[in-house]
Amino acid sequence: MIAAQGMSGLTAAQKAEVIYAQARSDLTNRLWRAALGGEEESGVHEGPGTTGAAAKLPMSLDALLSLLDKKTAPPQAVPQQPVQKQADAPGRWDRQADLGESASGGSRGYGPNAGYVGALSAAARRTGLPVAALATIVHAEAAKGSDGRWLPYSRNPRSSAAGLGQFLSSTWRGEAEREGTWLNGVARQQGWLNGHGKVKGEDRGALLALRYDPEASIQATADYARANLDSLTRAGVVIGDGAQAVAQAAYLGHHLGRGDAIRFLKGGLDSSRARTLLNAQIGVVGANHRIAVSGDAKAAHRAWLLDFMGKNIRPERFSA
């Protein structure tokens, strides 16, 4: 059952789309896992404590169907620039060496997303993040309308990722169960956790529906970013000062999951895992093309991700 809190502000058609997408995904993926004897999907945006290991199943049923349905498109466009090989990243997060300076220009300020400034500012203050860094993470993750407006009710057809923060179901539950997070406080207040601090089975739907609530998604993105930054620091990754360095490091944690983010920054992401991640992001056909051009899955994934980040993780857009 989907909670009313997570559906506020949506039109009747949008509510119907959210309910259908979530119910279809939950049911089909359960049947798919049962048929093949697998477990819940794993991939980008992994939950706390995960190691980034490849899933037992190559993809969810939604992912398979999305590859067969040419009318279904991923929420983010695939860059078409030529791919070039790049060296492994050093242990230090060196923005200038690895990514280069972001190009200037583009629309500054929040534009059609100005209504989210209050929630972004509150979440940033609570977690000690630069508000521009948090805004650019949300901007990179959220699906957008033709006018650039963030779409809070969006759903990724290749996984269970949903909402402004594009959280997987498993990651969202993990944040609800993690002590001290904004989402944990809401879950406790609503009585969604059992005596062991785990989400009750009958309340999973209500909790997952909160991903479509903009404030909840923004607050959870801030908590997840803070935890990812702390994990990277403990792993020996040196994060520079300023919104740009913070945003890039936090986004890697959000996008890859902590384990893979650490391996990516230290040059230890193996080719098999790189291929899996690239398939999840741009589809098998696009991934195979890039791998063929670059000659290696690890280099192809790195080139795609750094290119994407260079274009999208630009907190200066939100500093005006």
Let me know: does 294 contact 303? Beta carbons within 8 Å: yes
How far is it, in rounded angstroms, from Cα 276 to Cα 296? 13
CA distance 49 to 259: 8
Work out the pLDDT band at 93, boundaries 50, 70, 90: very low
Task: Name the pLDDT band for 87 (thresholds 50, 70, 90).
Answer: very low
**90 or 169, which is more confident?**
169
Please, what is the angle between helix 271-294 and helix 61-68, to 10°?
10
Q: What is the pTM of this model?
A: 0.68
The pLDDT value recorded for residue 13 is 61
* pLDDT given for residue 243 in this prediction: 92
* Residue 39 confidence (pLDDT) above 50: no
The domain that holds 152 is classified in CATH as 1.10.530.10
Residues 6+ apart with CB under 8 A from 49: 174
Per-residue pLDDT tens for 252-298?
A: 999 898 899 999 988 878 999 999 999 988 889 999 999 999 999 99
pLDDT at 29 over 80: no
Q: Is 253:232 a contact under the CB 8 Å cutoff?
A: yes
From the list 192, 255, 254, the residue with the least C-alpha distance to 222 is 254
Domain range spanning residue 187? 4-318
Burial class of residue 104 (count of CB atoms within 10 Å of its CB; 0-12, 13-18, 19+): exposed
Q: For residue 35, what pLDDT band results from cuts at 50, 70 and 90? A: very low
Q: For residue 32, is pLDDT > 90?
A: no
pLDDT confidence of residue 159: 81
Judged against a pLDDT cut of 50, whether residue 55 lies above it is answered with: no
pLDDT digits (tens, 9 = 90+) for 230-246: 999 999 998 988 899 99
Total structural domains in the chain?
A: 1
Question: What digits encode the pLDDT tens for the residues 109-156?
Answer: 899 999 999 999 999 999 999 999 999 999 999 999 999 999 999 988
